[in-house]
Amino acid sequence: MSRLRLALRIVLAAFATGGAVMPASALGRSLAPPVPVLAPTPPGFVGVDTDGPLLDPASDLNLGRQLDQMVASGVESVRVAFDWAAAQPFKSSAEVPADQATEFTDVGGVPTEFATTDELVGLAAQRGLTLLPTVLYAPRWDARTNRGGLSTPAKTAPYASYLTALVRRYGPHGSFWAMHPGVRKLPVRRWQIWNEPNLSYYWPQPFATRYVALLRAAHTAIRRADPGAKVVLGALTNFAWKSIGQIYRVRGARSLFDIVSVNGFTKTPSGVMLFLRIVRNALIRLGDARRPLLATEVSWPSAQGKSPQHYDFNTTDAGQARNIAAVLPMLGAQRTQLRLIGFYYYTWVGAEKRRAPAFSFAGLLSLQNGRLVAKPALSAFRTGALALEHCRQKAAIASRCARPAS
């Protein structure tokens, strides 16, 4: 989901040595050998991120067909950006051009476009796919300039009001389900509050105080609309274990979310597991050992020799497939000790073209000159995902295991 990232170099602080630096050569031997996965992973454990060409009307990809392929590939949950700026571009109905008036619904005086999110929610529900919406991008009428990055909310109330509208539409008692009785009811119960706020591209730094203010307003809005909903912390990346400490130092912050999420990008699969272990250790040190963890972006762009962004985790098409094949069983085997409740591979499909940003090459599929191509990574992901689920074949609809593994 990121448009810009800082490369995460694998020179990580080892908490057991009081902040001593762990050399990169130690990564492969720093974790205990993974234990066999004795039971299928719980429903919703395996996910993918979706953005870019899949959600771009200009790409002409069929979203329903792509969701079918996700299900067949073992995907059970989809993380997607709910674009607040696109949904509420105008502060009042008086600002809406006359030829666009029918596209908007009045929500507390703010014209709101639901067609885009309606399509996503409906198509995913029909296939038994849960959604994790990441709600971000401030509209110009509530935007605070972030020099060199995305604007952030100037006030917290409008963002909270939009979240209220979303929960009232897609939550357990949502109007969407009443309006579409033929659609399988699969309410959205997890809501992620922004993305990577510890990066200056997504949020002015230092981030913790103002981000927690937004989190507080979001938590109140979500819980009032759906007391059983879970609030997911905006994904932290790079030195995430330090950033989580900055959040916890803000008074009352730890009561404002249910799930910690992180985006860890490393050169090796064992590096991903070490990243997650260090985040878990940080939570233990903060007195929050039982807090669930989501890995919301796990990725290896096959951008080696193709992109001007030279991250150390860039690789080839073959390397991407090898890393995916290696990391999925690790995630399954260590999920209990990490209290890991799910992961999302970034991303389903990327728009690959010459000298594009590195993460344009991260997809399991690639869009090249209008042609959709399955990469070796897709086969590796499908094999690994179905193995985690103890399933030989997934039904195209409703995310059921058509042929359980013997």
CA 67, CA 399: separation in Å to the nearest integer? 10
CA 54, CA 277: separation in Å to the nearest integer? 32
Structure token pair of residue 177: 């389900």
- pLDDT, tens only, 315-342: 999 999 999 999 999 999 999 999 999 9
User: Percent of the chain, pLDDT > 90?
Assistant: 83
pLDDT, residue 258, reads: 98
State yes or no: pLDDT of 31 exceeds 60.
Answer: no
pLDDT, residue 398, reads: 61
What are 404's strand-pairing partners? 391
Q: Give kind and range of the element (H or E) at residue 260.
A: strand 260-263
State yes or no: pLDDT of 9 exceeds 90.
Answer: no
- Name the pLDDT band for 148 (thresholds 50, 70, 90): confident
Mean pLDDT confidence for 141-159: 96
- CA-wise closest residue to 365 among 354, 379, 355, 353: 379
pLDDT, residue 396, reads: 66
pLDDT, residue 395, reads: 78
Q: Which residues of 375-393 are buried (b: 16+ CB within 10 A; e: fewer)?
A: bbbbebbbbbbbbbbebee
Q: How many residues are there in the chain?
A: 406
- Name the pLDDT band for 38 (thresholds 50, 70, 90): low
State yes or no: pLDDT of 385 exceeds 80.
Answer: yes
State yes or no: pLDDT of 241 exceeds 70.
Answer: yes
Domain boundaries, given as residue ranges, for the chain: 49-404
Q: Give kind and range of the element (H or E) at residue 194.
A: strand 190-195
pLDDT, residue 23, reads: 34
CATH entry, 49-404, from 3.40.225.10, 3.30.2090.10, 3.30.1360.120, 3.20.20.80: 3.20.20.80
Cβ–Cβ < 8 Å for 104, 88: no
- Name the pLDDT band for 370 (thresholds 50, 70, 90): confident
CA 103, CA 372: separation in Å to the nearest integer? 31
State yes or no: pLDDT of 290 exceeds 80.
Answer: yes
- pLDDT, tens only, 203-240: 999 999 999 999 999 999 999 999 999 999 999 999 99
- CA-wise closest residue to 213 among 187, 194, 200, 238: 194
- CA-wise closest residue to 2 among 269, 246, 368, 357: 357
pLDDT, residue 66, reads: 96
CA 279, CA 47: separation in Å to the nearest integer? 20
pLDDT, residue 333, reads: 96
pLDDT, residue 397, reads: 66
Mean pLDDT over each residue of the chain, to the nearest integer: 91
